[in-house]
Chains A and B, each alone.
Chain A
Amino acid sequence: MTALTGCLGGGGGGSSGPVRVGVLSPLSGAWTVYGEAHRRGFELAMQEVNDNGGINGRDVEVIVEDTQTDPSTVTEKAQKVIRQDNVDVVAGTFSSASRNAAAPVVTQEDKVLLYPTFYEGQDQENFPGTCNDLLFMFGIVPSQQAAPWMDYMTSEHGSNFYMVGSDYVWPRFTNQRVKQSLEELGGNVVGEEYIPLGTSDFGSVLSRISNSDADIVFGTLTGTDTIAFAKQFYSRGLNEEFTYWTVDDEEFATQGKGPQAARGTYVSFDYFQTIDTDLNNQFVDKVKSQYGEDAGMDTVGAAMYNAGHMFANAANEVGSVNTDDIISGLEGQSFTGPQGEVTMREQDHQMVLPSYLVQVPDDWSDTNDFEGMFEIVDQKESVTPATANCDFPLGKGN
């Protein structure tokens, strides 16, 4: 548990005493790899908010809970921070499965959830995990993450895709959308496999890929699995034959893969530590001075940072931290952060974000070098996401 400032006085929910935010982060288990940046992004933002006078004059207190891997733990921790710790708002969960687990709890207790992770987009059938008035999505979706780069990738490398993903909601729905974009360009999906989380041996999948006539291996594997897969991919010489494009392996996963296995891999996200703008360089410096020279940032950390500040700005604007007030405050809000100006769309609670296509260069050799890790191939300053596949206006399910 972390409390940024200890204010004596009762829990949040009232209008005095600190504003309490519950942060649900994967600090152990399969997604530990993303957990530190995830948590730090939010804590850093809240620290800055407190330094600037807090929210409506009240300090912000952050309560962090480790959601491990299983969705059932997420449910427990969500219950705990809301019902025992009386937080005013919940930030985080990492995977889509975790978000979907926390959603019924926040819906029942009427709390806003600030969700930072790159995800598969919204579909009404996944309510309350998506298309929920209480959820604000700060992460990038396939229409921003993959669609803008389909043209480039297919013309450079070929249009036969072999899709390999972990077996849960994010890879499945992401692949659905990517398939659509691919087929519009005349491409083909020559293989599509979903591997249960926790698999360590990818031998049979790799054989099938090897025997296929794929050009591009499109990866939605996650956590420790994506690292193991990449290493085995390399040890079978497959990265000579195929191009590997992943929409999951940000800085920390790539660090885990190491230079040999990661070389030449394409990655696309809305944020990379290597982005050389004044705003981002300032942000990265702040992170390093706070957490040490080796501290790194990734898309999820940046999104948590945005989420934290945008939440604080919204609360300050409307003058309260009541759920419905925060909802109206966040809708339509813009914020200038490490990525420049980003906006939370009112209609479907999705963000307008930049998009970058990067590649791991041959000369990257130091696993602690997060800046040399990626080379920007192309970028778009602002990509509007496709409209969410939801019933509008968004409801809370009652």
Chain B
Amino acid sequence: MSYIDRTKVAFGDASGSTKVILTGAVIGFLLPAVLSPYFAFLAAQYYLFALLALSLGLLWGYVGILSFGQAAFFGLGAYIMAWSFQYMFVPGINPAYVALVLAPLVNGAIAGVLGLFLFYSDVKDVYFVIITLALSVILEQLAVSVTSIFGGFNGIYLPRMAVSIPGVFNYQLSNDRLFYYVTLLALVGGYLVCRRIVRSDFGETLLAIKENEARTKSLGYNTARYKTLVFMVAGALAGVAGALYATLAQFVSPPVTGFVLSTEVVIWVAVGGRGLLLGAITGGILINAASTVLSSLVADRYILILGLIFIAVVVAFRKGVVGYVADRYDWGEKL
């Protein structure tokens, strides 16, 4: 097939979903015009949670690794941003920029070490869940008890970040609508990165690993290396999300790393659609938005409703919201 024909076919495959994605992005860019600053502030948080969910979506949907510890990376990213403002690691440079570079690097490195430690052994996949769960518990406990570094239960306060070009301008993003765009860009950027990975040859191998790791291994692929690399990317993404979250909320405290958030991420992705990147993003935005709305109506009972929905999804509606829509409209699986 010629290159043009191949492009046409590919475009034809994706056009339904691409239309939806583009529409969603356009709505996203236009929303601040109609949202009050407070709701822009809330939406910005949702986008960052969606980015966190995306990190799990990549890991779980395309490699089959269920991590109950993505919040640990998110939280670590948040603390790195807080420390950057506190300690000015590189004087003269915007601390937020420093953190936005450090967070993915540090998280990626830690994920790499963990991956090397865990994937290159016979640790069963399901044990990985318990281990990652323990990791978020560990980090939360450290954050609570090592007060000199983490600020403990009191947390650490930090200002809203500024965008700057040294010597030219320095503009603090106190305006929530402006920060909304920062988070939207981060989400879109993260999605595009993941989509690129998923649609590449590397991504093909990942799917093969997810389907049957033993067979893929026997074909000569170093599956542990692939898993570790994706784990690093996921950790980095979650770290960026966390770093931005810290400067959005202007406050970091132990729950941002912990057990509860970790398990919530799994619910977002499962309900949104665990096999698809868009599923993870949708789950992240949808459930958090719904929680805010429902908690005003039925106080904390919404967690009960969420739990029941989650069980139903797990037992019967395994593909999640986006999964079913994608099936219905035949959008394929590289979403």
- Give me the interface of A with B, judged by CB distance under 8 Å: 1, 28, 66, 70-72, 75, 79, 83-84, 97, 100-101, 104, 167-169, 194, 196-198
Number of residues in B with C-beta < 8 Å to the partner? 23
Chain B 154-175, CB-CB to A under 8 Å as 1, else 0, gives 1101000000000000000000
Segment with Cβ contacts to A, from B97-105, B180-188, B196-204, B250-258: B250-258
In the complex, what's the smallest C-beta–C-beta distance from A171 to chain B, in angstroms?
Answer: 11
In the complex, what's the smallest C-beta–C-beta distance from A65 to chain B, in angstroms?
Answer: 10
Report yes or no: B249 in contact with A72, Cβ–Cβ below 8 A.
Answer: yes
Q: Which residues of B contact A100 (CB under 8 A)?
A: 154
In the complex, what's the smallest C-beta–C-beta distance from B101 to chain A, in angstroms?
Answer: 25
Chain B residue nearest to A100 in the complex (CB): B154
Binding site secondary structure of chain B: helix
B21 within 8 A of A: no
Q: Which residues of A contact B37 (CB under 8 A)?
A: 83
Selected contact of B253 from candidates A70, A84, A196, CB within 8 Å: A70
Known: A72-B256, A167-B147. A66 touches B299 (CB 8 A): yes
Q: Which residues of A contact B157 (CB under 8 A)?
A: 104
Chain A residue nearest to B299 in the complex (CB): A66
B271 within 8 A of A: no
Q: Whole-angstrom distance between the alpha carbons of A197 and B251 in the complex?
A: 19
Known: A71-B153, A169-B154. A84 touches B255 (CB 8 A): no
Report yes or no: A196 in contact with B38, Cβ–Cβ below 8 A.
Answer: no
Q: Which residues of A contact B253 (CB under 8 A)?
A: 70-72, 101
Q: Whole-angstrom distance between the alpha carbons of A299 and B331 in the complex?
A: 62
Report yes or no: B251 in contact with A167, Cβ–Cβ below 8 A.
Answer: no
Report yes or no: B144 in contact with A197, Cβ–Cβ below 8 A.
Answer: yes
Report yes or no: B249 in contact with A167, Cβ–Cβ below 8 A.
Answer: no
Chain B 1-17, CB-CB to A under 8 Å as 1, else 0, gives 00000000000000000
Most buried by A among B251, B255, B300: B251
Report yes or no: A72 in contact with B144, Cβ–Cβ below 8 A.
Answer: no
B152 within 8 A of A: yes
Other A-B pairs, 5, CB within 8 Å; known A71-B253, A75-B250, A83-B37: A72-B251, A97-B155, A167-B147, A169-B154, A198-B144
In the complex, what's the smallest C-beta–C-beta distance from A98 to chain B, in angstroms?
Answer: 10
Q: Whole-angstrom distance between the alpha carbons of A168 and B151 in the complex?
A: 9
Chain B 35-64, CB-CB to A under 8 Å as 1, else 0, gives 011100100000000000000000000000
Report yes or no: A97 in contact with B153, Cβ–Cβ below 8 A.
Answer: yes
Report yes or no: B155 in contact with A167, Cβ–Cβ below 8 A.
Answer: no
Selected contact of B153 from candidates A83, A84, A197, CB within 8 Å: A197
B296 within 8 A of A: yes
Q: Whole-angstrom distance between the alpha carbons of A108 and B153 in the complex?
A: 23
Q: Which residues of A contact B144 (CB under 8 A)?
A: 167, 196-198
In the complex, what's the smallest C-beta–C-beta distance from A1 to chain B, in angstroms?
Answer: 7
Q: Which residues of A contact B250 (CB under 8 A)?
A: 75, 104
B222 within 8 A of A: no
Chain B 220-247, CB-CB to A under 8 Å as 1, else 0, gives 0000000000000000000000000000
Chain B 131-152, CB-CB to A under 8 Å as 1, else 0, gives 0000000000100110100001
Q: Whole-angstrom distance between the alpha carbons of A361 and B194 in the complex?
A: 67
Q: Which residues of A contact B141 (CB under 8 A)?
A: 196
Report yes or no: A28 in contact with B300, Cβ–Cβ below 8 A.
Answer: yes
Chain B 249-273, CB-CB to A under 8 Å as 1, else 0, gives 1110111100000000000000000
Report yes or no: A196 in contact with B249, Cβ–Cβ below 8 A.
Answer: no
Q: Whole-angstrom distance between the alpha carbons of A72 and B252 in the complex?
A: 7
Report yes or no: B38 in contact with A104, Cβ–Cβ below 8 A.
Answer: no
Please, could you name 25 A-B residue pairs with CB atoms under 8 Å apart, sorted by A? A66-B299, A66-B300, A70-B254, A71-B155, A71-B253, A72-B155, A72-B249, A72-B251, A72-B256, A75-B249, A75-B250, A79-B38, A79-B41, A83-B36, A83-B38, A83-B41, A101-B155, A101-B251, A167-B145, A168-B152, A196-B141, A196-B144, A196-B152, A196-B153, A197-B153
